[in-house]
Amino acid sequence: MRINGIRDSHSYRSDYVTGTFYTAMPVVADSVTNLALVADTMVVIPAVIERTLTIDRLGLEVGVLDAGKIIRLGIYTATSVKYPGSLIKDFGTIDAGSTGPKQTGTLATILIPGLYFLVCSSDGAPSVYAQRYAWTPLGMDVSTHMYYATNNYSWLKLDAGSSGALPATFPAGGSLPYGTRAPCIVYRIG
């Protein structure tokens, strides 16, 4: 599946193409929308990496600009309880002052198979392209309706003071918002 030139991530895919961006998880194609970021809030989405990959850029699409503001992107490890752990790489910032696809500068990072978290944070409130993912390793919430489960798409950490450099360890106390769409943070194979 291709959405705006970005390839959908599939389990055990063998056809990764150097220079191509991939979503962190398979997406539901009809679920495109904008999601407003909250200033100084870290939002992380899970990314399952099935084989050793070199990732050299992160990106996302700004749908509604916030003049003079930035969005910071990075990658965290996962703890044994599927919570973000240690910072692997702070990929730096992209400009939130204009709309369209954005990507960080090139910073090659090798990831071995496992669960990781892609993070975005802004010093403002731009809206970014968001997706409803087809599945998530964070599980399903069936507490609101026995016949309809909502995916747990992302961890959210409010008031983390996170528009500057990303912290070495993801802050404790993040919440797991269910039923919401998550930013479509993408990675590029280097």
Average pLDDT, the chain: 79
Per-residue model confidence (pLDDT) at position 78? 92
What is the C-alpha separation between 90 and 14, in angstroms, rounded?
Answer: 27
Whether 111 has a pLDDT exceeding 60, the answer reads yes
pTM of the full structure: 0.83
How far apart CA 186 and CA 190 sit, in angstroms, is 13
pLDDT at 1 over 60: no
Question: Is 2's pLDDT higher than 50?
Answer: no
pLDDT in tens, 13-49: 567 889 999 888 766 655 567 888 988 888 888 888 8
11 versus 57: which is more confidently predicted?
57
Range with lowest mean pLDDT among 3-17, 41-55, 74-88, 92-106: 3-17
pLDDT (0 to 100) of residue 148: 42
DSSP string, the chain: -EETTEEPP-TT-----TT-EEESS-B-TT--EEEE--TT-EEEEEEEE-S-EEEEEEEEEEEE--TT-EEEEEEEEE-TTS-EEEEEEEEEEEE-SS-EEEEPPP--EEE-SEEEEEEEEESS--EEEEE-BS--TT-EE-SS-TT--EEB--EEETT--TTSSPPSBPPS--B--BS--EE--EEEE-
Q: How confident is the model at residue 147 (pLDDT cuts 50, 70, 90)?
A: very low
Q: Has residue 51 got a pLDDT over 70?
A: yes
Nearest C-alpha neighbor of 128 from the set 58, 29, 33: 33
Q: Please, which residues bridge with residue 119 across strands?
A: 44, 74
Q: Where are the domains of the chain?
A: 2-163+175-189
The answer to whether 174 and 156 have CB atoms below 8 angstroms apart is yes
Report the CATH fold assignment for 2-163+175-189: Jelly Rolls (2.60.120)
